[in-house]
């Protein structure tokens, strides 16, 4: 049985009738927004492309998401829906591109350590570094104390090294692989994993710059740590920075 219309009004629509002064209108179902997207293989205005993997099934309408020309990274317009899957897909592409780029670089930073406290010795852990792609290494030191030298050891060994005298060609025993002094860097050479580690550093003497060559008592396959020890009873100050670079030749 229907309700009579209020005085001064015409017949009420069935879904707009009131009862007890309260609205009893039939609620309309919420509008469904379909996820409809397609990817383009090139940039520019939106056009045909392949369907997005996350598109809702059964939907006929599709919109298009533009992509960059080189790596097909997503580019959104104001009306596009932003999804986590798009960012994850883009990050995977970027990560792969950076990996491929690093593999082609001839000069790669392998280690970067800054000291937090003053110390007489700094130990650099290199046990997780793959040395096989490189033939030469450069160890650079940035320290604030002038006039101090540091000796470079490997695996904490302080004996068994050989020093090659470039003046007479003789080899002498010594207790370090290299010294980092005025020039603040040294070179390490590698040809295969079974070869003993050799080091060279330029050195300023009264005769001018000269090169010092030393050989370690261990091979590259046995290397796990590079140790830097302050000379003359000195200290390596906090904030000193040590970087190891690999060079492909």
The tens digit of pLDDT for each residue in 209-247 reads 667 789 999 999 999 999 999 887 788 889 999 999 998
More confident residue, 164 or 53: 164
Q: Is the pLDDT of residue 5 over 90?
A: no
Q: What is the reported pTM?
A: 0.60
The percent of residues above 70 in pLDDT, for the chain, comes to 65
Burial grade of 36 (CB within 10 A; 0-12, 13-18, 19 or more): middle
Query: Checking phi first, is residue 140 left (phi over 0); if not, alpha (psi -120 to 50) or beta?
Result: beta
What is the mean predicted confidence (pLDDT) over 186-213? 75
Buried b (16+ CB within 10 A) or exposed e, 83-102: beebeebbeebeeeeeeeee
Strands 107-114 and 241-247, sheet pairing:
antiparallel
The tokens for 99 are 């990996």
- Higher-confidence residue: 153 or 62? 153
Q: Write b or e for each residue in 112-131: b if 16 or more Cβ atoms lie within 10 A of its Cβ, otherwise e.
A: eeebeeebeebebebeebeb
Residue given tokens 């070869």 in the structure block: 195
Please say whether the beta carbons of 91 and 84 come within 8 A: no
Q: Is the pLDDT of residue 58 over 60?
A: no
> How distant, in Å, are the alpha carbons of 59, 89, 204, 206 from that of 201?
69, 46, 10, 16
Written as six digits, the tokens of 22 are: 């309260």
Q: Are 247 and 229 within 8 A, CB to CB?
A: no
């Amino acid at each position: 049985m229907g309700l009579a219309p209020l005085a001064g009004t015409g017949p009420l629509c069935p879904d707009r009738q009131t009862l007890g002064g309260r609205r009893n209108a039939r609620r309309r179902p919420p509008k469904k927004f379909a996820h409809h997207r397609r990817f383009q293989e090139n940039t520019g205005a939106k056009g045909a492309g392949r369907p997005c993997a996350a598109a809702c099934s059964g939907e006929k309408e599709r919109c298009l998401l533009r992509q960059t020309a080189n790596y097909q990274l997503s580019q959104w317009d104001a009306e596009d829906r932003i999804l986590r899957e798009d960012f994850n897909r883009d990050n995977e592409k970027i990560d792969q591109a950076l990996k491929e780029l690093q593999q082609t670089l001839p000069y790669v930073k392998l280690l970067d350590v800054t000291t937090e406290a003053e110390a007489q010795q700094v130990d650099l852990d290199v046990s997780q570094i793959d040395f096989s792609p490189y033939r030469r290494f450069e160890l650079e030191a940035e320290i604030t104390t002038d006039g101090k030298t540091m000796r470079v050891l490997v695996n904490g060994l302080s004996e068994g090294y050989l020093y090659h005298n470039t003046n007479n060609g003789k080899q002498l025993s010594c207790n370090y692989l290299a010294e980092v002094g005025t020039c603040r860097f040294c070179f390490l050479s590698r040809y295969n994993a079974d070869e003993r580690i050799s080091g060279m550093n330029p050195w300023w003497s009264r005769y001018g710059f000269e090169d010092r060559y030393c050989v370690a008592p261990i091979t590259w396959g046995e290397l796990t740590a590079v140790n830097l020890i302050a000379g003359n009873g000195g200290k390596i100050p906090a904030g000193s920075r040590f970087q190891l670079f690999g060079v492909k030749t």
